[in-house]
Amino acid sequence: MTMIRSRRHVLRDMAAVGAGLLFCPRVAFAAAPGERRFVFVIQRGAADGLHTLVPHGDPDYARQRGALAVDPAGMTKLDGMFGLHPALAETGRMYGAGQVIGFHAVASAYRERSHFDGQNVLETGGSRPYALKDGWMNRLVGLMPGQTAEPIAFAPTVPLALRGAAAVTSYAASGLPRATDDLMARVDQLYAQDAALHVLWTAATTTREQAGEDAKGQDPATVGKLAAGFLARPDGPRIAMIETGGWDTHSGQAGRLAAQLKRLDTLIAALRDGMGAAWSQTVVLVATEFGRTVAVNGTGGTDHGTGSAALLVGGAVKGGRVIADWPGLATQALYEGRDLRPTAALEDIVAATVSETFGVDATSLFSDDRKKGRIGGLIRSS
């Protein structure tokens, strides 16, 4: 991975004097030309798509899920087959406004059940774990016409999806108190006489100002607001990544996943509200490394599976629909007798989304032979 280490050190120095921010989920940004914004929200831990985008119309759903079956009365029903979990209330409202597409029975090229390997395939776009060394989002930056982008990672380390040949700057988190204005002025004066450091320091303090004085904490509303503060700027980034964790629900799934989905819903709603008019140019893709088993295990949870769900959200999304070649949940229809059988390639969805968002051919970002570019019409033309 190529990095501009001098700026990284400056940003680290800023964190050392309390200028950084501490927040989770972690956010990574990249600047790119044009008005469209693309945000990738990764659900680390294998989110249960059957709990997110509920196939309440499948005759085998309630029987297979048992105590984990979501009551259709409380969900946002999208059509006769699918509904959103009750915790995704704001997402449901956006669906009603034509700003959400749900995808079901999707999976990457990966077919085993290791989080590390599955996330590697999802973030690199490879056909197998560790086949590629860089991330598809970094390669996307290279496809941007006339781009002068420099990705910036709001995390201690840059997520794999953004690692690669494009220069990367990190904005390190800090739990220390914010620096006083006097201290910042003194450091500014110190660097003022150094031609190289003055430029880097100015860029670092600009990033600090864009983050906002109140952009502290770890709650999803704060993260969504922080991301919007950058993305909504006319000169701000156009590509972003937000990492969310905690989706590995081996036990007590009903309560845990309801809380997780509520946090996701809050994050997306805060991003929407903070974007203002720029929301109409925004596309958010929510996806996970693989799904979970159809049946409940002995501790009220589910184990690592295969097929899952993905969501496309945003003012630029041609939404209000669910796209799924639904395989059914009858026992004989399950993958290896236990998992939701994938019928759509996640790589196709990602490639179609970013191609239509930025007007580029993104099929080269992925090495999987299954990628045929069959999906289209996901993003509004203007």
Tell me the per-residue pLDDT of 297-324, one tens digit each, with 9 for 90 and over.
999 999 999 999 999 999 999 999 999 9
Instruction: Give the domain CATH number at 208.
Output: 3.40.720
Q: Give the percent of the chain with pLDDT over 90.
A: 62
Across residues 65-71, what is the average pLDDT?
A: 96
Range of the domain at 120: 5-365
263 in a domain, yes or no? yes
Residue 251: its pLDDT value, please?
Answer: 93
Please check the confidence at residue 238 and state whether its pLDDT lies above 60: yes
Coil/strand/helix, residue 287: strand
Stretch 102-124: mean pLDDT: 97
Q: Which amino acid is at 67?
A: A
Q: Is residue 66 part of a domain?
A: yes
Q: How far apart are the first and last CA of the chain?
A: 35
**pLDDT at residue 44 is higher than 90:** yes
The residue among 239, 235, 247 whose CA lies nearest residue 209 is: 235
Q: Looking at per-residue confidence, does 142 or 195 come out higher?
A: 142
- Domain membership flag for residue 130: yes
Residues 6+ apart with CB under 8 A from 340: 49, 50, 105, 291, 294, 305, 306, 307, 308, 327, 329, 334
**DSSP letter (8 states) at residue 346:** H
**Is 379 part of a structural domain of the chain?**
no
Q: In this structure, is residue 161 part of a structural domain?
A: yes
**How big is the CA angle at 133 (ends 132 and 139), to the nearest 5 degrees?**
85
> Smallest Cα–Cα separation from 52: which of 308, 319, 363, 349?
308
pLDDT over 60 at 284, yes or no: yes
**Structural domain count of the chain:** 1
Answer yes or no: is 380 within a domain.
no
**Residue 320, in any domain of the structure:** yes
Q: pLDDT by residue (tens digit) across 186-222?
A: 676 677 677 777 666 665 655 554 444 333 446 899 8
**Residue among 63, 16, 2, 69 nearest 300 (CA):** 69
* For residues 105-125, average pLDDT: 96
- Kindly state whether residue 373 falls inside one of the protein's structural domains: no
Residues 156 and 9: their CA atoms lie apart, in Å, by: 12
- Separation CA 181–CA 192 (nearest Å): 16
Output phi, psi for 259, to 5 deg. Answer: -70, -40
